[in-house]
Amino acid sequence: MRMVLIAAQSLDGFITRGATPGVAWASGADQRWFQQALTGFKLRVMGRATYETVRDQIRNRDKESVQRVIMTRRPQEFASEAMPGAVEFTNASPQTVHARLAALDQGDCALLGGAQIHALFLQAGLVDELWLTLEPRLFGSGTPLVGKALDLHWRLSDVAHLPNSDSLIVKYHQRS
């Protein structure tokens, strides 16, 4: 199973604008690209804060055959929101989550944030690709792409200009 970290970020590396959660600040071109890109992933992992930002959108897509794993320190607090085969909450390690999802044999997995979850999976060496939307914005503050100091090297595999915008999709592969 290939794990792909997908995120939109400002030019100065932030995935949120200041303390405001979510990526409502991202361009319409990115929002469209992101929704299209997600159709290729039946497996998705995100952290609790990311889940809380998109909770209503997930509930409105109950007919999707997508398995979402929400990483949280307190999965019991979300027991009433769990949906077997669709939404689960866990405090398992990234290695355990990755192995369990790979065993499902349902294709690739999108890693959707936030910064702490990115750091955990990157540090464990479980991320195969980075797909980053670079939005032409400077925030000066916010949540960084990765919530921990890391020194990992990646190989550029593709750059694409999103139509009708000044945004870029930059894709990297894990350096061998």
CB 16, CB 150: distance < 8 Å = no
Question: DSSP alpha helices (H): ranges in the chain?
Answer: 28-38, 48-59, 94-104, 115-123
Sheet architecture: strand order including 67-71: 87-90, 67-71, 43-47, 109-111, 3-10, 129-135, 168-174, 154-161
Q: Write out the chain's pLDDT in tens, 176 residues.
A: 999 999 999 999 999 999 999 999 999 999 999 999 999 999 999 999 999 999 988 877 656 789 999 999 999 999 999 999 899 999 999 999 999 999 999 999 999 999 999 999 999 999 999 999 999 999 999 999 998 999 999 999 999 999 999 999 999 999 86
Candidates 143, 129, 93, 120; CA nearest to 5 is 129
CA distance 137 to 84: 39
Region for residue 116 given its phi and psi (left: phi exceeds 0; alpha: psi -120 to 50; beta: otherwise): alpha
Q: Could you say which DSSP state residue 62 is in?
A: T
Show me where the domains of the chain are located: 3-174
- At 30 the pLDDT is 98
The torsion defined by the Cα of 106, 110, 111 and 113, in degrees rounded to 10, comes to: -130
Give the CATH number of domain 3-174. 3.40.430.10
- At 62 the pLDDT is 59
